[in-house]
Amino acid sequence: MIATRETVSAAPAAQGPQETFVLNLGPQHPAAHGVLRVLMTMEGEWIQRAEPVIGYIHRMHEKMGENRTWAKFLPNTSRIDYLSAMHYTHAFVGAVERAMKIEVPLRAEYARVITSELNRISSHMVWWGALLLDLGGFTPILYAFDDREKILDLLEGLCGARLTYCYYRFGGLYNDVDDEFLRGTRDFVQHLRPRLKMYRDLVTDNVILRKRLTNIGPIDAEMCRRYGATGPVIRGAGVPYDVRRMEPYSVYPRLDFKVPMYPECDSMARYLVRMDEMEQSLRIIEQALDQIPTGPFLAPKVPRVLRLPAGDYSYAVEAARGRFMVRIVSDGKEIPYRVRLRAPSFSNLSLYEEASRGMILPDALAMMGSLDLVIPDIDR
């Protein structure tokens, strides 16, 4: 796609003594993860205006939701944000369960928490590696993928898929968590702790990375609020907003964890939030492993063909990138009347235009990396 006339002229054109030019960053660019295009009006290396242009892999998931049954939409949910598929399925399943008033067995809830948190760690690892890739460090992504493989192996052994799990079912799980998985998860927790320390020594403490991220890309709490940015972005702005705490779901209220928060509002704060979140996720997993009861993994008497009572219901979860909300509207039929997917990356990216104004290109890309964008999540 070429810059259209309007988009170019919408930018403050070259008037007055300063000269600008338009840089078309993407849709194929090494730093635009996936097919994101950013139309940058630059003055030298300074960004005057960076307008994200999205929709290149729009798949109209919401329309798909309207032409198939509730159960048939389930696989779609793990394909919106393929890096945190568990959370997305959780939200959809949760919304339907909320409408149907299905009581989910405790074992299934704990299993959901464990798998969700594993998924969060794996998602953060991809982010970590990709951020470092954006910053020009190639090695960390492979270390992260080494550890992430272990998570994927665990989840593959559990539900048979490595990325698009589709593991949760209305009222429970696809299949039971076996002992092998629980043991493997315990081993993994032990394995990851020293690795996280290694990450810290190799990257977090590195002076170059500190210089690249500290005081770069300030996004304050007010901006987060006005744009609806959530997740590590808002927690890096000093607001301890976490759906697991604010609108508790599943068995999170029974678990003891901290919400990492840094008040610096810069890219480093967002970075540190995610790094701390990995440790907190490990804590959560350990507790859940200790507490997980035996019992059924699927609620009894879940009808095969669901007819939700008319009305609208929403369910929000804390996905790896922030607040993911499913809003479903039912008219009492067996297919949804409306499925609305509120994607965190969408809101997080929408503040990019304002936040990147006046930055220079490398910093703006570092900030984009610290937002942890997943383009299919934005485009849906």
Site for another protein in 296-325 (CB under 8 A): 304, 309-316, 323, 325
Instruction: Provide the token pair at 39.
Output: 């139309």
Q: Give the contact letters, 42-71, x = binds to another protein (CB under 8 A), - = no.
A: -x-xx-xx----xx--x-x-xx--x-x--x
Closer CB to another protein, 186 or 245, in the complex? 245
Say which residues have a Cβ less than 8 Å from residue 94's Cβ, sequence separation at least 6. Answer: 249, 250, 315, 317, 326
Asked if 183 touches another protein (CB under 8 A), the answer is no
- For the chain, the distance separating the N- and C-terminal CA atoms, rounded to the nearest angstrom, is 20
Subset of residues 82 to 111 that bind another protein, contact rule: CB under 8 A: 95, 98, 101
Which two three-digit tokens encode residue 268? 């480093």
In the 8-state DSSP scheme, what is residue 48? E
Of the residues 106, 196, 299, 337, which one makes contact with another protein according to CB under 8 A? 337
Binding another protein (rule: CB under 8 A), the pick from 117, 363, 372, 377 is 363
Query: At closest approach, how far in Å is the CB of 232 from another protein?
Result: 13
46 SS3 class: strand
3-state secondary structure of 340: strand
Residue of 81, 97, 109, 276 that binds another protein (CB under 8 A) = 276
Alpha-carbon distance of 348 to 78, in angstroms, equals 20
Q: Which stretch binds another protein (CB under 8 A): 108-116, 185-193, 285-293, 345-353?
A: 345-353
Of 107-115, 120-128, 134-142, 284-292: span binding another protein (CB under 8 A): 134-142
- Where is 324: in which H helix or E strand? strand 322-330
Q: Shortest distance, CB of residue 292 to another protein, whole angstroms?
A: 19
Cα 299 off chain centre by = 28
CA distances to 155, 248, 285, 349 from 251, rounded to whole Å, are 20, 8, 12, 30
Show contacts with another protein in window 1-40 (CB under 8 A). Answer: 1, 4, 6, 10, 12, 15-18, 21, 23, 29-31
Binding piece for another protein, criterion CB under 8 A, among 105-113, 120-128, 226-234, 287-295? 226-234
Span 143-162, contacts to another protein by CB under 8 A: 143, 146, 153, 156-161
Q: How remote is the C-alpha of 241 from its chain's centroid?
A: 15
How wide is the angle at C-alpha 116 spanned by C-alphas 367 and 258, nearest 5°? 70
Interactions with another protein, residue window 194-223 (CB under 8 A)? 198, 200-212, 214-215, 218, 220-223
